[in-house]
Amino acid sequence: MRPTRLLKAAPTTQPFRPGQRAPALALLPPLPLYRRLLRIHRKLLGPEERIFGDNYIKAEFRRHRDIENPLHIVGFLTEWQLYGQQLEGDTWKDGRIDPELLDKMSDQQIGQMYELMQAIQKRGRDSVDEEEEGAILKAIDDASTDGKKNDS
């Protein structure tokens, strides 16, 4: 790839900060944006989050490959570029969904968000349960080992 192409694909905006209104974006073309998002995932997300995020990005970009409505394309690219900036800003972990954004979502989109939230919470509970179970089993094992040592 020629160096001029790399310069054209470089992001021209700063990472998004909470409470700050996003400046006007110089939109990246779809393919460089797609690659940038995958790079951000590789650099910033854990293995499980990365797999989930990469699969989601790939599916969304495939679904929108044949879209011809320019407004839809600009909206799609803008939102994905904002997503990348939020990840780079590292404030996304404590972020909340903007109520204005929720008002714009369809019932189906809100339902999908709710299902995602439930899956994440269930997964968090399951991992905590496994950790607690492991700690309890270790404590029992340690206690039985100590009891055998005291009997000897």
Write out the two tokens for 71: 């407004």
Higher pLDDT, 152 or 105: 105
pLDDT for 55 equals 92
As a whole number of angstroms, the distance between CA 11 and CA 33 comes to 9
As a whole number of angstroms, the distance between CA 133 and CA 62 comes to 41
| Phi–psi pair at 130, nearest 5 degrees | -65, -40
As a whole number of angstroms, the distance between CA 65 and CA 90 comes to 29
pLDDT for 61 equals 94
Domain ranges of the chain: 26-95, 96-142
* pLDDT for residue 135 is more than 90: no
Whether the model pTM is above 0.75 = no
- At 36-83, the pLDDT tens digits run 999 999 998 888 889 988 999 999 999 999 999 999 999 999 999 998
Give the pLDDT band of residue 143 (cuts 50, 70, 90).
low
pLDDT for 86 equals 87
Greatest mean pLDDT among 5-9, 19-23, 26-30 lies in: 26-30
